[in-house]
Structure 1
């Protein structure tokens, strides 16, 4: 696979086949429910489902055994090394191919948590849950709470796995986990969906950081910023596909089909990994020099001088607390505020917008089509953001995008319900929070990976990603605790206020990631 051998290929494929077979054995129950509108609530698990569940659990265990190299969790890497693409390296077919494949992988990965907002209305009706469409019952907000908690834990777990067993095996295992958790679509109980949603989140949490780690070692420095924005912006593509699938399939096959889509997309992700390289840094650190040098030659990368690494290490010792000390204090504050605002918009406004549009009188297919059309309308913003970031200014790009989304949210907060009567304006204004937020998240991910020095960079990137998910966990936890079901105006205002604060913080504390000779950004104090 891509010139990098798996630890035990036979066991990996046996485990994968067992997991796929386990999911397939759940499908008869789903198909038998067609005469009842695919309502399976309260149905007992039949024999094929029980056998399928055993196969999935066994398959995940065998797959893990096939991916984990012997002694991976006890081995001590020979030393700390750093790999980066050469400054004068041109973008070639290998780079373009990697960008395309990683874009598809990120779309498949991002569709998992995005799907939460589109299955919620159907789950409310089938299980009698509390939401904007129903004032009684257990809160449907438990579903995103479990899913988002899974992504937070997954970010930590997959970052650790990536260092222990490699980036490529980690992505492969996430793909197999996506396949296994597709049985969300056949769970008879809401509690079963919560458990599967938590497992799905574990797999979805670590994909983007691993993707950016690979890109940082293979993409030439002068192209890295806009490439990261472009790939991170695929969150909007994922939203477009999720809304389109919901509008197209859910009316005939119920909300459950949106989870079952995880079977083919998970398989696609597994097959795509044939074209994704392993991290040269990981291979070198574990003594696999031949494989590492073959990948570096293909992408035009090289090992950074040890002297440079030692200098940076001496200047920037410390854990996460180092990010909050001079000269990074104000900059980190801006990153945290912006990350939290993205989380509040994504998991406050976006999560409930399909339900809120139905609350305003749009039927489910119309509401989902409105979201798909709005996303399609705003999609060029991703390419504009990538060009702005790469050719103009990273700091100004953040300010412009955040201001644009903030204005759209303010308009929605004061006239969201009346806008439902004018579809053209509704589509236009919705494009801001949906596509604009994805663009800001992509820009922030690239920005935080460039503004911090080498040995605190991963912590800076992790912090910016983690606070966004933490914001989502916080807002859903409030709803679970008994807060009123959110309206369009409430969720829009909840996102607009921190975005305004984020704009001010970036204006005051933000820096421009100026590049030095070695492709390293200057420190905040020097910018």
Structure 2
């Protein structure tokens, strides 16, 4: 039998994957001529008839996507039965350059991923103006612009669930790379001449964006040593605030010159970048063990300072598993309800409160560029909070960091609830209050998924984190449906109150029933039955 080279992770058809990636990228690029043609109209493409290049490009995108998925399927072989293997010293390993490379690449991937749904906030005013849609700034338009973020968020909910299943079936690495392909191909959302086309492509873009974060967390949880796992997970996930700041900066710098569509089109080079960095993204060794690909698992673990050994299973591991499973069950319904409320609150704040902030600031009389600048500065001002939260989660207490950060987020939301539109008269106070939820909600989202990833066993980790990540988007779907029913965007005061109430309840429940996961080994779940974990 041929052995894989050291560190190599094999696909069944690598040539097919790369051919599909190239075809899909070319297909996306074929949409650019029409965008450039609209330059004289300030890149307004509404109701333009697709040309031949765009038609061929759309077909190439579909063919390329299908080929990449086919090529990413894992090998069929099982070179060793998983029961004979276990990991030695994974959680005691030191951070190596290979760990650092992995963290940097996945940080970039998560930043690119979060920029997708974040962009919805900044394209909404331009989309409404170009297509004559109903929005707070255009109350007498046609269809509500809310349909666009609703389409994207529905895609992220579905993507979180599908990608979780995909990660458990074909592996963490193929799921991440396929998301990168979708980032590249769905960037054509910025070249769609009809609002319907925007809705469809935004939905598929959401499917790709929804899956990246939970799969990334599953991979990091299964690769990074225990004593570094918690703070790195939260730091990377909370770094999403950087994505918000970058998107704000891009909106301020590019939209006045190239229109709102450019914010979608930049997804093409960023998606390609994720694919080009694939060599620094390993497969999870724990997934490889369960898949019976022991030789590949050995190669990965050598890179990360650990080893796979063929020997009888340790009696200590099941004991550790039992202890942790019992601890999670002891929290019972209170722990599960608190975790679910926390995930729901993250969605309500991110896609209810935060989504409408740019539009709401303009409604209150702040010019578009000034609104973008305020939000960018608020995000940058609050970034140090993410670093503090990450180290507190990793080195102090996972439970109490979650509780305290949630409580800190509730406070400014209550202030917005009380002050309402009057807060716009005090710019310094406005920026200070915005900086907390804009940054802390990303840390809370990261903590929610990290906490879930640390509790669940390898066989279910992808699905569990996917479902929790999907729930963080459900709050946004709820807010957008309510917006559609009321035919008006909710005011800042309303979205702040909607996020504050369930988050306050989550604080109480997690303080009562939360468990400590800091520095706990996750080798043990490999020894446990998957059904032993609580089901979300």
TM-score (norm 2): 0.89
Asked if structure 1 preserves the Cα contact closer than 8 Å seen for 2:134 and 2:145, the reply is yes
Q: What does residue 411 of structure 2 align with?
A: 407
Work out whether residues 331 and 513 of structure 2, in 8 Å CA contact, stay in contact via their aligned partners in 1: no
Aligned residue for 2:35? Answer: 30
Contact 1:389 1:397 in 2 (8 A): yes
* SS class of match (1:133): coil
2:362 is aligned to 358
Task: Answer yes or no: is 1:445 the counterpart of 2:465.
Answer: no
Other-structure match for 2:332: 328
Paired residue secondary structure (2:425): coil
List alignment gaps of at least 5 residues for structure 2.
526-531
**Residues 362 and 159 from structure 1, CA distance in 2 versus in 1: closer, same or farther, beyond 3 angstroms?**
same
* Residues in 1 aligned to 2:186 and 2:369: alpha-carbon distance in whole angstroms: 25
Residues 348 and 498 in structure 2, CA contact (< 8 A), matched pair in contact too: yes
Task: String of CA shifts for 1:38-69, please: whole Å, max 9, x gaps.
Answer: 11111111111111111111111222222224
Provide the C-alpha distance between the structure 2 equivalents of 1:107 and 1:435, rounded to a whole number of angstroms: 13
Q: Secondary structure at the match of 2:134?
A: coil
| Alignment partners' CA distance in 2, 1:384 and 1:315 | 30
Q: How does 1:76-155 map to 2 (within 5 A)?
A: 78-79=81-82, 86-136=90-140, 137-155=142-160
1:362 and 1:517 map into 2 onto residues whose CA distance is 50
Q: Could you say what secondary structure the match of 1:179 adopts?
A: helix
Cα 1:13/1:462, change in 2 over 3 Å: closer
Quick check: 1:214–1:278 contact (8 Å CA) kept in 2? Answer: yes
**Structure 1 position 422 matched with structure 2 position 426:** yes
Partner deviation per Cα, 1:5-35 (whole Å, 9 max, x = no partner): 3322222222111111111111111111111
1:85–1:343 CA distance, 2 compared to 1 (3 A): farther
CA deviation profile, 1:430-465 (whole Å, cap 9, x unmatched): 101100111111222222333557777666544432
| Structure 1 residues 431-442: aligned runs within 5 Å | 431-442=435-446
Matching of residues 188-207 of structure 1 within 5 Å: 188-207=193-212
Q: Please name the residue that 2:399 is paired with.
A: 395
Q: 2:225 aligns to what?
A: 220
Match of residue 369 from structure 1: 373
Evaluate the alpha carbon distance shift between residue 59 and residue 463 of structure 1 in structure 2; reply closer, same or farther with a 3 A threshold: closer
- Give me the whole-angstrom Cα distance separating, in 2, the residues matched to 1:453 and 1:15: 33
* 8 Å CA contact retained: 2:218, 2:453: no
1:242 aligns with 2:257: no
Distance in 2 of aligned mates of 1:83 and 1:141 = 49
Q: Corresponding residue for 1:474? A: 478
Do residues 45 (structure 1) and 50 (structure 2) align? yes
8 Å Cα contact 1:185-1:256 kept in structure 2: yes
Moved more, 137-146 or 179-188: 137-146
Distance in 1, matches of 2:458 and 2:173, equals 22
The 1:271–1:517 alpha-carbon spacing in structure 2 relative to 1, beyond 3 Å, is closer
**1:94-119 alpha-carbon deviations (Å, 9 max, x no partner):** 11111111111111111111111111
SS in 1 for 2:356: helix
**Aligned counterparts of 1:385 and 1:355: Cα–Cα separation in 2:** 29
Conservation of the 8 A alpha-carbon contact between 1:212 and 1:228:
yes
Cα separation, partners in 2 of 1:82 and 1:248, compared to 1, 3 Å: farther
Q: Which residue of 2 aligns with 1:511?
A: 515
* Structure with more relative contact order (C-alpha pairs < 8 Å, separation 6 or more): 2
Separation in structure 1 between the aligned mates of residue 442 and residue 228 of structure 2, nearest angstrom:
20
Q: Is 42-51 or 279-288 further displaced after alignment?
A: 279-288
C-alpha distance in structure 1 between counterparts of 2:440 and 2:151, whole Å? 26
CA contact (8 A) 1:412 1:492 kept: yes
Q: TM-score, normalised by structure 1?
A: 0.91
1:206-285 equivalences in 2 (<5 Å): 206-285=211-290
The CA deviation at 1:294 is 1.1
- Match status 1:160 vs 2:191: no
- Whether 1:345 aligns to 2:356 is no
Cα-Cα RMSD: 2.9
CA gap 1:374/1:216 in 2 versus in 1, 3 angstroms? same
- Contact 2:82–2:292 under 8 Å retained in 1: no
